Amino acid sequence: MSKHVAYIALGANLGQREKNIAAALNALQHTKGVSVDTVSSLFETDPVGGPPDQPAFINAAAKLTTELAPHRLLAVLLQIEQSLGRRRGERWGPREIDLDILLYDDLVISEDGLSIPHPLMHERRFVMEPLAEIAPAAMHPTLALSAKEILDSIGSLSLD
């Protein structure tokens, strides 16, 4: 079975935020075919989008080595979210846990329900800061920029 490198974003702004992120990482570590290699620091950030007055988020990023194909990894992440109390409601609304695939090897996938690289990652400091901490040289396959370069350019990057 071949090994793949995936980077995921973790976020939580309801309940015990740090505990929810730790529980998600623990569930991933105990998933057959997944190894959690590196985890960033926790970053507290203001919510972006969504309803006003929602609590601040705790965000992190993790590097995984996995034998799971991208669709299977996504299914695992969704199952972990559900097991930790995530209920899909308002777009960008408050949540117990949010797990997103940011990068998976150098794949580019654009399908209903699965977009790799994550379509908004390059616009979001709360995603790029933890990612650049653990993988500054990780390359965005369509922008041809490293995580550090993207972080340094947030606010000035346009895809037009």
Catalytic residue (choose from 86, 112, 125, 152): 86
Interacting residues of 138 by C-beta distance below 8 A, sequence separation 6+: 7, 103, 131, 146, 147
- 95 part of the active site: yes
Catalytic residue (choose from 17, 88, 98, 152): 98
Catalytic residue (choose from 95, 106, 124, 125): 95
- Asked if 3 and 42 count as a contact pair (C-beta separation under 8 A), the reply is no
> How distant is the alpha carbon of residue 143 from its chain centre?
18
- Asked if 123 and 154 count as a contact pair (C-beta separation under 8 A), the reply is yes
- 152 part of the active site: no
- Asked if 45 and 59 count as a contact pair (C-beta separation under 8 A), the reply is yes
Catalytic residue (choose from 17, 37, 88, 100): 100
> How distant is the alpha carbon of residue 152 from its chain centre?
19
Active site residues: 86, 95, 98, 100
